[in-house]
A and B are shown apart, each in its own frame.
Chain A
Amino acid sequence: MNFAQRLQHDHAAALSLLSDAAVPSAARHAALTRLTELGLPGLRDDDFRYANLRPLSRASFAPAAEPAELASQLASLLPARLDGYTRCVLVNGRLATAYSDSAAALAAAGVGATLNDSFEASLPDIGPAERFDLLNQAFATDCLRISSAGAVRLEILCISLAGATDAASYPRLQVQLQPGADMTLIERHLGGNASGITVSTCNVQLGRDAQLQHYRLQDLSLDATWLDTLRATLDANAHYRLSLLALGGGAARSSVRVRLAGQGARLMLNGASLADGKRVLDTVIRVEHEGRDTRSDQLLRAVANEQSGISMTSRVEVSAVAGGADSRQSLKGLITAKGAEINLRPQLEILTDEVTASHGATTGALDENMLFYLLSRGLEADTARKLLEWAFIADVMSRIELPALRRQVEMATVTRMGNAAALESLL
C-alpha cells in the first residue's frame, strides 16, 4: 500500500477510537484529504531536506490502545513534582486521570475548557512544512483544551509507552490565553523504550497583553519517531517565551510557526538540540511579523556527537505592514565527531524598509585552545570535552527561569551526554 492507501486504511480501521469531541469528523476528513494531496515529503522537498522520515514508509498510523500495564512503566518516567504546578498526564495521547491531578484541580488550571470561536481561525496556516499537524488532526484520540484568563502554572507530560505493537500516539493540545493572562506551561514528551511514532500538535493563542512561558522538552527513546507541530498566534503586546529542548528520539522533526499578529507582540525563542548515536533531529521554525513594532529573538544551539545529524532552519518573514519590526537570530552548532553533521539555516524575508534585523550562523568543532586549557588543569580528556559541549548550550539552559525545572532538564541533559558523574557537580 502507498502512503495514501495506508492513511485511508488505518483511519477506517481506527474510526471507533476517533471521537468528534477530540476533532470533529468533518475536520478529520478534510485533514486526511489535504494530507493525501500533499503526500509524504520527498527527498527534494526543501522543508524536509534534513529530516529522517524513513520510519514513516512502513509505520502504522493506527492510534495506540491504552496499554494495560501502565503503572510499572510509568513510574520510572514521571519526573519529580514541581511545587505549585498542576500536573496533567497524557499516555499515548490520552488523558490518564489516574496520574493527573484531580478533575477540580485541572479545571482550576483551565484544562477542559471550551475555547472561543476565534481560536482556530487565528492560528497560522498549515503549510507544507507543518503537514504532520494534519496527521494529528486525522488520528487524534483526545484533545486537551486549556483556556485561562488568570495566572496558571501547568505541567503536561506526554508519555509514549510501548504496547503490544508499535502503534502511533497523537497528543493534541490547544492553549488559549485570554487578554492579560499569565501562564507557565511545561510540556514534556517522554518515552521509555517505545519505538512507535508520536505525532504531537500544540496550538497556542495569546490574547492581548497575555504572557506565556512555554518549556518544551523532548526526551523520547532512541528508536522513537517524533513528528511535532507547534502553531502560535500573538495578539497585541502579547509575550511568548518559548524554550525548545530536543534530547531524544531517533528521528525527530519539530515544525514551529509563530504569527506576531498584533502590534508590539514579542517572541523569545531559545532552543537546544543535543544528539548522539545516529539520531536525526530537525527543527524548522517560521516566524511571521505581521503587526507593527513586533520583535523576535531566537537563540538556537546544536551539539552533534557520533554519527548524529541536527538541522535548524529559522525563517523570519516581515510583512509590508510590519514597520518597526526587530528580529534577531543566533544559530550555533558544535560538531564533536567526524561522522556528525549540522545544518543551520537562518533565513530572512523582509518586505518593509523600516526594520532592524540581524542573523548569524556558525558551525565548528571544539575549540582546541579551550580544550588544552582544561587539560592543562588536569581534567580528564573526556570530561573536558563534555564540559565544553555543556558550555556550548549553557546559554539556553540558563534561560530556564524555574530553578527546579532547570535542574531536572540539566540532569536529563548530562544523562544524555554520558559521563554524568563527572558533570553532576556542575549543577
Chain B
Amino acid sequence: MRVGDALLRALLRGALVVVPRDERSRWGEEWRADLRDLRARGMTLGEGLRWVWGVATTAAFMGLEEVMMDGWTREIRHAVRGLLRQPGFTAVAVITLGLGIGANSAIFSVVNGVVLEPLPYPDSDEIVTVSTAFPTLGFETFWVSPPEFLELQERTRSLEVVGGYRGSQTSIGGGERPERVQGAVATAEIFQALGVDARLGRTIGPDDDVPGAEPVAVLSDDLWRRTFGGDPGVVGRGIDVDGVRTTVIGVMPPGFDLNDEGIEIWQPLGLDRAQPGGRGSHYLNLVGRLAEGVSVVGARRELTDLVAGWQEATPGAGHVPNPETHPMSMEPLHDQVVGPVKAALYVLLGAVGFVLLIACANVANLLLARAEARQKEVAVRVAMGAGRGRLLRQFLTEGAVLGAVGGVVGLGLAWVGLEALRALGPGELPRLQEVDLDGTVLAFTAGIAVFTGILFGLAPARYLTGGVMAGTLRDGGQRSTAGGSRVRLRSLLVVSEVALALILTLGSGLLIRSFSELTAVDPGFEPEGLLTFQLFLPNAAYPEAADAPGFHERLQERLAALPGVTGVASMAGLPPQRDLNANDTEFEGLEQREEGPAHNVDYYQTVHGPYLETMGIEVVAGRDFSGADRADTRPVALVNETLARVFYGDSRSAMGRLIRPCCGGDDWFEIVGIVEDVKQGGLDAPAGTELYVIAEQTAQVFGFAPRAMNVVLRTSGSPESLVPDVRRAVAELDPALPLAGVRTMDEVLAGARSRPRFLTTLLGVFATVALVLAAVGTYGVMSYAVAQRAREMGIRMALGAEAGTVRGLVLRRGLTVAVVGLVVGLMGAWWLTGLMESMLFGVAARDPVTFSAVPLLLLAVAVAASWIPAHRATRVNPVEVLRED
C-alpha cells in the first residue's frame, strides 16, 4: 500500500509539470487531497493508475490550451519582430542556413533521383543484366556472344525472360536534315524484360526479330517529336534508316531508355538462331527479368552452376563459359546504371552534410552571442517570475522561425542549384532528367530546417539554469571577465567548424590535384587546332567494301583544299574514350604460352590518309603509312609501343614481324613502324595495345572497311570557323550524309574529363563555402572574446602593455582554437579521404602535399579572422572601459 501511494504520488508530480504555472499549485494540492481520500476509501492501485492517467491527460490539455490560446502566434510575432530589429544578424543567419539547407536539398535531390529512386520500369528491382568476363585477359566486364546468349536463354530457370541488345550509331533520313542518333538493335525479349509497352503502335515482336524480316523500327518519344513533329501518323510509315526503307511500328513513352545510353531508335537484332555466329564474337548486353519468387542471389547461384556445367552441356564447343577463364556474372540493372557515380554522389552528400553542420554551428554561435547580449534581460525576467518554460519556448520559436525562413531560402537555392547541376552535368550523371525537387526532397528539407531550428533554439537555453543566472545578475552582465565557460562552448563550436572545413578542403584539394594530373596527361597526340566529326556511310548507298575508302579519299581532297586546313585524315576510333575491341590476333612466330600475354589486341585503329601527321602522333621506329601503301600492295601495319613491348620485348624487335588481325583474311600484315602510345580507353587508364591498318587494305584483305569513320582536320586558325565549309564539302559529295559529333579535339578531351571536373567543381564550391563559414565563425568568437575581455585589455594598456603584446594575446587564443580544430580535422580526414581513393587519379588519398598545404591555408584563414579582433583589442580606450563600471 505504501509503495503504491508513493508511486501514484510520484506519477502525479510528473503530470503536474505540464500544468500551466499559475494553476499548478492549486490543482496539485487538490489532486493530492483527492488521491488521498480516494485511496482512503479503498481505491486499488489499478484504479489509482487509471485515475492518475485521467489527471495527466487533463494536465496535458491544460498545458496545450494555454499554448494554443496565447502561445505560439504571439510568440512567433514576437520572434519575427525581434529578428527584424537586428537585420544584420538575421540576414547572416538566414543566408548561412539557406546555403546549408539549399546545398543539401539540391544534392539530396540528385542522390534521391539518381541512386535511391527505382528505375522507371514496372517492378524494376526484378531487372538484371548479365555479362561475361575474361579475368586472365584483364577484362572484368565483357559482352556476351550470341551463342552464349541463346544457350543461357534456353537453360536458365531463374530468368523469366532474357534479351540482348547492342548500341549503334544510326542515320535517319526523311526528316528535314539527315540526322545521326544513338540507336540500338535488340531482340524482342528486351521489351518484355523491361515491361514497357509502346505509347503508340507496338514494340518489336518475335516475328520482326528474325533474319530477312521486313525492316522495322521503334522511335523514342523525343526523336518522334523532334524529327517527325509528334505526328501519330508516322506509325506504319516508311522512313530512311541507314539508307534502308524501314517501317516505323511504334513510339516509346517519354523518358524510355536503357542503361542511360540515350537510345532513340530501336531495331530488331534479327539474330539467326540456327547460325548465331562465332562463340568468340562478344558484343551483346543482356537484360533479363527474374522469374516469380526468385531473388538476385538465387539467380546468381543458378548462373554459377550453369557456368560450371556449360562445357558439359555444350559438347564439342570450344571457348565456352567456365568458372576460371570466362565466368558470367549478374547484377541488378540499377547497380549497372548508377554504380559508376554512386560513390561520388555519396561523397558530395557527405560534403554538403558538413557544410550544413558548419552552418548550424555558426548560427548557433550567433544565437548564443545574441542570448548573451540579452542575458541580463533574461535573468531579470526569470527573477521576476517569468516561467523558464516560457523563455525556453521563446528561444525555440526564434530558432524555428530562423530555421523555417532558412528552409524557404534554401529551397530557392536548391532549385537554382539543381538547374545549374542540370546545365553543368548532362553527360556526367545518369538519370539526370529524372531528378526533381519532389515530395521526398521537400520532406528532407523541412526535416533539416526543423532540426536545425530546434538545435539553435536549445543553444541559448543553457543560460536558463539557475547557477548561470545568479552569476549573471551578480557580475553585472556582459562586461564580466568570468564568461569563461561561455567562451569555451563557443570555442568548441569553432573547433568543430575548423575541423569540418579542413576535411572538406582536404577532399577538395585532393580532387583538384587529381584533376590537374588528369589534365596533364599526354593523350599521345596534339589536340590543339583539331576539328573532328563522324560520318556513317550506309550500306545501301555504298555497297562495296572499297566504296568507303574511295569516298574518304574524295572527301579528304576537298577538305584539304579548304583555306586554313593543313591536314586531313580519317580514323575508325576516336580517342581518348573508345570501347575496347579486344580482338584475337595472330602473331607469327610467337607461341601462345600459358603465362604469356593472350594473343589479343585491345584496340584496332583503321585509318585513311595521313593520320599520324594530322593527329601529331610520333613515329618511334620504322616508318609511317605512305601513299605507296595501296589496296594492291603488301599489307602493312603499325603498332604502338605498348604492343611492341608486350609481345616482342621492345620496339626494335617488333619491326618487320608479321601479324594477322582477326576476322576473315589469310594475309599477314608486316609491322613497318612503331608509334607512340595514344590514350584510347580513357585518360586515366593505361594506353593498351593498339594496331593500325589502312582502310584500303582491310577492304581488300577482309572485304570490309569500317562504315563509321571519324574525320579529323588540322587547322591553322580556329577550328570552329571551318564548320560551315566542312558541311558544304560533305553535302557536295553526298547531301544525304549527316555529320555527327562535330567538335574540336579540345572539346573531346574536355568531355573525357567532364565527370571528374563535375565532382571537383562541386566539392570545390562546397569547400569554399565551408572555409568562408568557418572564417566567419572564428571571427565571431574572437570578437566576442575580445569584447568580453575589453576591461582586462584596457587595464593592461593602462598599465603600459605594448600593443603587440595585447595583439599577440588575442592571436594566440585564436590560433589555439584553430590548431585544435586542425588536429581533429586531420584525424578525421586521414580516415575519410581513404573513401575517395577510387575517385583520385595520380595522387594518393593521403597525399603529403595536400595534407600539409591545406592545413596551412586554414591556419592563414584563422590568423586573418583573428587579426581584426586582435587589432581592435589594441584600440581599447582604458578610460572608457573603466568608466563603464
Q: Do A and B bind each other?
A: no
